[in-house]
Chain A
């Protein structure tokens, strides 16, 4: 499925396509006549492609095109849609909540990056040095990822109870720190959500980093030691450069993932208090599914498209800048 559930870290895409083979093979083959195609494998290939085509045409390609079209229409499901040009975009841009949502989303992304980018790296580096029972460490780190996000969210919502008897407040009480309002205070709400989101997803990032770390050839470390490098220098001059690719990819994937955060604020605070945790995706959901006057699907798709464009531009700039940095 075109993963409708946004996460804060997704497995990265595989790297290259075997385009070299296509060209070779094509050169080796002569183009058969249409009848030969028919008698040959042609129709069978199509049969094998039917599931893919059915799924993608109906549930991926067509909806993408529909989204682009719907952004310029007024749809209410009962009467045929009418073209309204850029009205939907105007509605979205004039919504006072848009600025709030964008700022909240940025705030979330920055906090999530600060918390969720370096910590898994440190943990993974430490874990890579564990000789025995590394599996136990990996399992413990990945466990929060396995728990369904809805369960974690509801659990943490309870942990975040603002009264002195709340779970976290009780723990803070042991070290003499006062009760924290957590989700009930506009200043604390977003950091609380980020903390939860990081707990929930960091394990995946740890495992990815770990896999990359164990792939670093030991000869490189041997060579560095011959040059007299201590532990820190080995980490800085061997490990980091080798991880560069993974680090760059996880960075952009985290940005793209956090820009689409929905489940955590939706379940933990519903966008409050006072809209301090309303994100862009929650706004889209609100336009489409929370309007008692029927659902402004045009505005929802317009905002989705705007978000997609922003992310695409950001990704393009990012890949441009980092192209020169990666070790190709």
Chain B
């Protein structure tokens, strides 16, 4: 996905990705020493990436079905005494990984909804409808990005324990994780920037046809925003999946805890091989999601490439 900045010329400059060259030109590559060196470095790089990036995960998969004693005594051997598939079943049922898994899914779904809702409505209001006081709101939102999140930890916690309008605390409810998730300045700015890049003519035309602000949002802007909603969604779900400190503080009831909070505590209660199986199960979904939505992830992560000079 490329974000066309209106300040730049209409024609996108040729990028190295389109060209048939990068640092090395085609003529460079015709020289044998260069070709050999390049191929060699790339092979080494690939092997390194496999060992370093994939290695630990493969080990986890292997150990998930290895009995404890084998993992302890010969951690790198491949099933010297056979596989132990019961680990997975035990992790799923006795340790109730399925329950914590479900909690993680519920939390991620709620966080996704909240973040998409806040970001799209706010982006729409600030970028398309453009109220006069919009600048102030944007500045205030931007300012929060410069405050390290740790500063908010304690007051946010106390806000959840004693919420201003409700009579009772939100501790041990999923709301304690869902609601604060909306206050994500990065998402808002991301969506705003995207909306800025949408052609105004479409909006003017729709307005002249008599569409009110709600119609415009629902029927015109939202359908056009699929790419950015995709990016926000990916970040939201991954962020919620990985979140640790905050859910640990506000979800005390083990029945509500997601995997990230429960797994460290579980270590105290279950034997090693079942524990590793639980870890493996916890890793499967993010990895599967990643493999399926690779392009979305990598494009979103590379957004920073748009930041230059």
Contact = CB atoms under 8 A, between A and B. Distances in A.
B230 to A, nearest CB: 15
9 contacts: A19-B135, A42-B131, A126-B41, A129-B42, A141-B53, A151-B259, A214-B17, A245-B307, A312-B146
Interface string B210-254: 001110010000000000000000000011011111100100000
Contacts of B150: 6, 260, 262, 281, 284, 304, 307-308
Interface residues of A, number: 132
A70 to B, nearest CB: 6
A42 B309 CA distance: 38
Interface residues of B: mostly helix, strand, loop or mixed?
Answer: helix
B152 A170 contact: no
Interface stretch (A61-69, A96-104, A109-117): A61-69
A192 interface: no
Interface of B: 6-7, 13-17, 19, 21-25, 28, 34, 38, 41-42, 45-46, 49-50, 52-54, 56-57, 59-60, 72-76, 111, 114-115, 117-118, 121-122, 124-126, 129-132, 134-135, 137-138, 140-142, 144-159, 161-164, 179-186, 188-190, 193, 196, 212-214, 217, 238-239, 241-246, 249, 259-261, 263-264, 267, 272, 276, 279, 282-283, 286-287, 289-291, 294, 297-298, 300-309
A170 B189 CA distance: 48
A242 interface: yes
A150 B260 contact: yes
Given A1-B239, A148-B286, A204-B301, A154 B264 contact: yes
A66 B158 contact: yes
B305 A212 contact: yes
Interface in A205-230: 207-208, 210-219, 221-222, 225
B184 A2 contact: yes
Interface in A119-146: 123, 125-130, 135-146
A71 to B, nearest CB: 10
Contact of B309 (A140, A238, A245): A245
A218 B183 contact: no
A214 B308 CA distance: 12
Nearest to A123: B45
Contacts of B114: 55
Interface in A257-278: 259-260, 262-263, 267
Contacts of B45: 123, 126-127, 137
A317 interface: no
Contacts of A234: 23
Contacts of A166: 75
Contacts of B42: 126, 129-130
A315 interface: yes
Contacts of B134: 22
B131 A146 contact: no
Given A146-B286, A154-B264, A155-B279, A3 B149 contact: yes
B301 to A, nearest CB: 4
B87 to A, nearest CB: 15
